[in-house]
Structure 1
C-alpha cells in the first residue's frame, strides 16, 4: 500500500488547489491536517488569512436567526454543498452580521467593542481596532486584495456606509441612500481607503437609486457575480410585480447599466441583501427566476413569497408568509431551503449591543410604588359584568 504521506509536493498542492477552486475551505483544512508532509507542502491560511484564495466567497449562513446552539448551517451557493459547522467561539462575542460570501462579523463584548472578522472555515480571526458602529441592522462585505483587508458595512436606517481596515482607529462613514442592497456595487470602492474624506464613487449609487425612485419602483438592489466581475441590478415594483434587470461592471466608475434578458441557470434572491445561486445544484430552486417577498397587508412579521419567471415576465405567489419571529416559529413547520434563502436576504440579524445599551437606559423601576398610593383607589367599588 502506497505511503500517502510521501506524495510529491506538487501533487499535494494540486489536490489542495482543487478544494480552493470550489471554495471548500473546510476540506482544505482537513486535507492539510492529515500529516506533516502535506502541511509543509501547502500554504497555511492562518499565516496569510488575507490571501483571496483563503477567503469564503460563495457560502451563506442560513440559520443566522434560528440557531439555538453552537452548530450553524451553511450552504455553498455555487456548488450546492451543505455544511454543519460547530462554532463555539461565537459565544465570546456579539454577532453583528454575516456576509454573502461566508465571513462572520463580530464585536468584542468588552468596550470599546472592536470589530472582528471570522473566517468560520479556516478559523482565522482578523482583529480590528475600530469599534463596530452602533446600528441595529448592518449588512457587510469584506473587500480588498492580498495587501488590503477592508470591512465595509451599511445601515439603511442611518443611511450610512462604514468602512475600516484592521489598523483604523474608527470606521469612516458617509451618507448613502439605502446602501444595504447596493453593497455589492459600492463596497469595492472602499478597499484600502484610509481617508475620511468624501468618496465620490458613492454618488453613483445614490444616482442609480434616485433615478429609479422617479419611476416609482420600490426596490433597487444588486447581487455580485464574482465570476464575471459584474453586479446584477434588480428593480422591483412590488405592487404590480414589474421587474427590470440590468448589469454593470464592479469597477466601472460611470455606473453604466446594460439590460439583461436572462441569468441562465442561476436564480436571484432579492431583499435587503441579495444572493445569486446556482439552481442546478440546489433542489426546488428554479433557473432564470427571481425570488422576493411582498409585505403582508396586516403588517405582521412576515411576507408572502413570489417568484418572477424572467423568460415569461410573470410573477407567481408560491409560498405563504415566512415568520421570522422566533416565538411565532415554535409551532411552525420546519423551514425548507427556499424559506431559509428568502429569509436570509430579507432579514439582517439584529446586533445585540445596541439593544443592551438601550435597556441599560431604562430605570429598574419605571413607576415608583409610592406614587401609586397617591391615587388611593378602592377596588371594592369596581363593578364587574357577568
Structure 2
C-alpha cells in the first residue's frame, strides 16, 4: 500500500513537471529564434493571399510573458492597375497577444487581443468604376456603410432608421472570431471615389472594444472625426456604447449609447462650432439592405432638445421617416448651425417648437409636420 502511494505521488509529480518542461523548452526555443528572418516568407504569404505586394519595414519580436507578437511598420501596396502613391494599408505597429497552451498542446493559434497603432486604410474607385476592395471579401462586406456622393450632398451625418429586417441575401459564410480586446490608436479610413468625384475621411479614430464575439453585446468606446468632401460639415464624436455584430459583419446593433458631438461647418459659412450631447436606446444597421432603425435618439444643444424615433434606408438617396418630441427647439437655428435641409428653416413660426411631430427626410429635404402656421399655433396651445 505504501509503495502504491509512493508511485502515485511520483506520477503526480511527473504530470506536474511535464507542462513546466514544455513551457521551458518553448521559452528556450523562442529566445534562440530570430523572427526577423521569417520576414520574406511572411511577406510572400500575405502577397499571395491578397494579390498585393507586402513589406514589413519594422522588426518582428515575440515575448513569452505575455505571449505576444509585435510587428513594426508594415505596408500593403495597392493592387495592380492602381497608382501606388498611397499604399492601400499601412500600420505603424501591430501588437497581437496569443494564447500559449492551445498552440503548444494542439498547434492551434488563438488570438486574445489586437492593437493597431496608426493604421491607415485607403480605398479607391477609379473613373471606370473599378475599386481596390472587392477582391478582399471581408473588407468588401463593410464598404456599403460608406455614404455616396448624393447622400453627403443632402446631409447624412445621422444615418439612423422601420422594424429592422435582416438581409434576405445574407452571406452564409461564418466568420468565427473572439477577442478579449481590440484597440485602435489614431486610425484613418479614406475613400477616394474618382467615378463620382468625392472623398470620405474617418480620421483620428481611437477605439477600445472589450470581449468581442459575434451575436454578443460588447462594450465599445470610440472617438473620431468624419468628413465628406461634398458635405459642409465635419463631425467630431466621442461615444460610449454597447455593440452587437453578426458573424457575417452585416448587422450592427448599437444600444445604450451616450456621447458628445462637435459639428463644424465650412469656414465660408461663418458659423460657430456646435456641441450636442447625445444618448439613445437602439440603433440598428443592415449593410446589405442599407436599412436603419433608431429608437429614442436624444440630442441636446442650441438651447433646446429633441428626441426622435425613425426608420428607413440610407445610401445614394436618404428615405427616412419618424416622429419627434421637441422642447424649446429653434428650427431655423438648428438648420443654420447644422446645415440641415429643413423645409421650415426660414419660417419664424418654428423658432420655439414644443410638442410631438411627424417628420420625413425625402427628396433631399427634411419636412416636419404639421407645417401650416395655424396648425402649429393650435398644437402649441396658442
Q: Which bin holds the TM-score, normalised by the shorter protein?
A: under 0.3
- TM-score, L = length of structure 1: 0.24
More RCO (CA 8 Å, sep 6+): 1
Larger Rg: 2
- TM-score, L = length of structure 2: 0.24
**By percentage of residues, which structure has more strand?**
2
